[in-house]
Amino acid sequence: MAEKPLGIFRSSSRRRPDCKRKSIRKPLDSTPSPPTSLISGMSAPKLIIAVCTANVCRSPMAEALLRHALRAEPEPLRSCKVISAGVAARQGEKMSENSRTALAKVGLRIDEHRSRLLDSQLADQADLILCMTESHRAVIQLALNPAPDKIYLWRDFMPGNTDREIGDPFGGSIREYEACRDEMVDALPSLLAHLRSL
């Protein structure tokens, strides 16, 4: 299923121009940056939800990458559950083939994945919701009542003036999916550092 923009997030969900750059595979065990917490008074998360539009391209890759990274962490982070969902997902769709291939190229598989919609019941269970774009965050805040308060972008914890959004590779080449994956990998050290600081 295409990750089509809905309503208010037409502009932000477009693919980033630099998604077409040559993909550079990053090691999954990169040395993390110093912790920088944006949340105070929060214990280690028990459930993290990665969110994109249709839950077939970006968020399944994010789910697999973060699951893999957390396996190398001490408890309680190692036991943290990571799932994914979409703000406009159909129930039960398989992950896109290019997402599956992009993960396989770094030794990861998530064959059991089936898409699901992020609804209020699921969001209420989450300790942290990590979106791909500002538009996803806006949709969640507008659509869910009450709006979850622990919503961030996947790349929010990166230092410096870097692009925080991860564009939609749907319909693009495998190189675009790999570039998307690598943008997620780039953010893992700062994301893990943040999780350790909670």
Measured between its terminal Cα atoms, the distance across the chain in Å is 36
Q: Which of 56, 67, 62 lies closest to 115, judged by CA?
A: 56
* Domain 43-197 top-level CATH class: alpha beta
pLDDT of residue 31: 37
Q: Is 52 a catalytic residue?
A: yes
pLDDT of residue 42: 56
Tell me the pLDDT tens digit for each residue of 88-146. 999 999 999 999 999 999 999 999 999 999 999 999 999 999 999 999 999 999 999 88
Q: Determine which one of 127, 168, 182, 186 is catalytic.
A: 168
Strands (E), 108-191: 128-131, 151-153
Q: Determine which one of 52, 80, 131, 180 is catalytic.
A: 52
Tokens 């929060």: give the residue: 42
Q: Determine which one of 16, 19, 57, 58 is catalytic.
A: 58
Token couple for 132: 């791909």
Q: Is 58 a catalytic residue?
A: yes
